Structure 1
Amino acid sequence: MKADLDIQAVSRNGISHLGRCYFSPPFKVMNITEDKTQAQLHLMLMSSSPGILDGDEYNLKISVEENASLQLFTQSYQRLFNMKQGAIQKTDIHLADNAAFCFLPHPAVPQKQSNFTSINKIYLSNNNSLIFGEILTCGRKLNGEIFRFSKYHSLTEIYLNNKLVVKENLLIEPSTININAIGQLEGHTHQGSLIVINNDLDLNAMNDFITHHLSQQKDIEFGVSALSIKGLIVRIMGQKAEQLHDCLKYIASYISSYKILANAI
């Protein structure tokens, strides 16, 4: 199935609203903003499909206009079903000047013989705030499908004024690599990453907070690195999807309260 999504957040009188909104099946979009007077727009991305199927091709376009702020939620875990040819999802995100965007989707669950490629391209302008996360599981662990998928490839490129500044390339093909080897997952079954970009970011303070919080968690390994621009990338490995997702959401919430994203989350 081929499907398209095109949504736009605009700002009027300091409050973000849904502007352009187009989607084709299986996508649906719902405005879940509880306080209509708050600055940030909350949208839920939903799907009538049980997951991503063989041959699916999804094209998503998200635009956040000048001074607007958008947080996009997902409805449930992204299930990747058994495939022969594979499936692909392309996401283009455009942030105008002073725009803010936050997206922490539910973890991806690749089932046996799934083959999935995700290409994310994010275009920043001036004075943007970005929080962008991703979590990959080993598959349906209780069904014995631990790393039984064929391929999972996630490529994220971030451009600042059309110059490539961040490139995150995750490729796992269990049949061709030793998942538990040094430099790979080393016995962990889940991994997550979080990219934070903001000109107001206090890198040292944020690094200290993230390190302190994650060091209190059980059965995870993590690292925090500064980007070439004003931002951080956090990488976590563990055994439970919900735990990693909660960690990313907690960090994102703290960033908001730390005046990194105005009125976010």
Structure 2
Amino acid sequence: MKDKAVVTGKLALTFEKRREKTRLVDCFQAPPLKASRTLYSEGDDQATVYLVETSGGLVAGDLNEYEIKLKEGARVCLIPQSATKVYPSYNEQTSKQKIMITLDKHTFLEWNKEEIIPFEQAKYEGSTLVRMEDTSTFLFAEIIYPGREKRGESFRYRMLSTQLQIWVEDSCWVYDPLKIFPEKMQIEKIGLLEGFMYIASVWVITPKLEWTENQLQALLPSEDKNHVVGVTNLKNNGLLVRWLSSNLPRIKKEIEQIFKKVKERI
């Protein structure tokens, strides 16, 4: 049976700076996706919005779409209220999520954290496309779970596919595809997951920093046999920090620390 995914949820948000604050000027919501009201920290012009998925997760054949647009000068933090849970596929159809982001000049977007939990027998395909100006800033974090490990479902899903593209002006800075088929791949081997449980990534694209080798090394947390992390410099105006780990609380804490360190320098 071929996939016949339909849009079961859509959330389209447009932000614009007005009267010294970032405002949510357009919001289209189709269940089960919703957005919270815009929140502000005291004295801050940045808009914080929580992304809500009211159905509890993606069922086989579902497609959720996000369209995020920031107009010139807008500053936004998006926070998923819960992880993306992917339910079993007993009908051979794939659960899909599509994110499209457009960042105009001098904008700032932080998306923290996109957590993906594929259940036993789940099939998931996710894609994120970012188109941004060279004066804008993008921070993105993602954690891929092995499944519901406390229920003995680690790597019992059928397929997981993610793809991130980041275009700065007309140049593709990031093309990062990942596909895992636990039943067909020896994921514990060198070059794959090597016995680790979680894959996590932080992407930072900003024109305001040039990363020296010492500054990159200062971002890196300590490692041990159950937790390894590496950093890659992207054209001096961006970086990737990636984890292979079996310690989920430690990953989350270190992602928060890296976001904090980066934002202090921007």
**TM-score (structure 1 length as normaliser):** 0.92
Residues matched between the structures, number: 257
The answer to whether the aligner puts 1:28 opposite 2:37 as a matched pair is no
Of 223-232 and 15-24, more deviation after overlay is shown by 223-232
Deviation at 1:219, TM superposition (A): 3.0
Instruction: Determine the C-alpha separation between the residues in 2 that align with 1:201 and 1:210.
Output: 14
Aligned twin of 2:96: 88
SS at match of 1:208: helix
Instruction: Determine the C-alpha separation between the residues in 1 that align with 2:68 and 2:23.
Output: 13
Instruction: Determine the C-alpha separation between the residues in 2 that align with 1:256 and 1:216.
Output: 23
Deviation at 1:32, TM superposition (A): 5.1
Q: Contact 2:72/2:104 (CA < 8 Å) preserved in 1?
A: yes
Deviation at 1:14, TM superposition (A): 2.9
Instruction: Determine the C-alpha separation between the residues in 2 that align with 1:241 and 1:31.
Output: 30
Question: For 1:60, which of 66, 72, 95 is the aligned residue?
Answer: 66
Of 223-232 and 239-248, more deviation after overlay is shown by 239-248
RMSD: 1.7
Aligned twin of 2:244: 237
Q: Contact 2:51/2:81 (CA < 8 Å) preserved in 1?
A: yes
The answer to whether the aligner puts 1:79 opposite 2:85 as a matched pair is yes
Q: Contact 1:85/1:115 (CA < 8 Å) preserved in 2?
A: yes
Structure 2 unaligned residues grouped into runs of 5+: 1-6
Letter in 1 for 2:34: K
Deviation at 1:105, TM superposition (A): 2.2
Question: For 2:184, which of 166, 176, 180 is the aligned residue?
Answer: 176
Deviation at 1:162, TM superposition (A): 3.0
Change (3 A) 1:8 1:252: same
Deviation at 1:181, TM superposition (A): 0.2
Cα deviation per residue 1:177-227 (whole Å; 9 max; x = unaligned)? 11110011111000101110111113125412212xx11678310110111
Aligned twin of 1:163: 171
Aligned twin of 1:263: none
Letter in 1 for 2:256: K
Instruction: Determine the C-alpha separation between the residues in 2 that align with 1:229 and 1:157.
Output: 18
Q: How does 1:1-265 map to 2 (within 5 A)?
A: 2-31=8-37, 33-35=39-41, 37-83=43-89, 84-204=92-212, 205-211=214-220, 214-215=221-222, 219-228=226-235, 230-258=237-265, 260=266
Q: Contact 1:97/1:128 (CA < 8 Å) preserved in 2?
A: yes
Instruction: Determine the C-alpha separation between the residues in 2 that align with 1:216 and 1:222.
Output: 7
**TM-score (structure 2 length as normaliser):** 0.91
Structure 1 unaligned residues grouped into runs of 5+: 261-265
Q: Contact 2:122/2:158 (CA < 8 Å) preserved in 1?
A: yes
Moved over 6 A (4+): none
Q: Contact 1:165/1:229 (CA < 8 Å) preserved in 2?
A: no
Q: Contact 2:77/2:110 (CA < 8 Å) preserved in 1?
A: yes
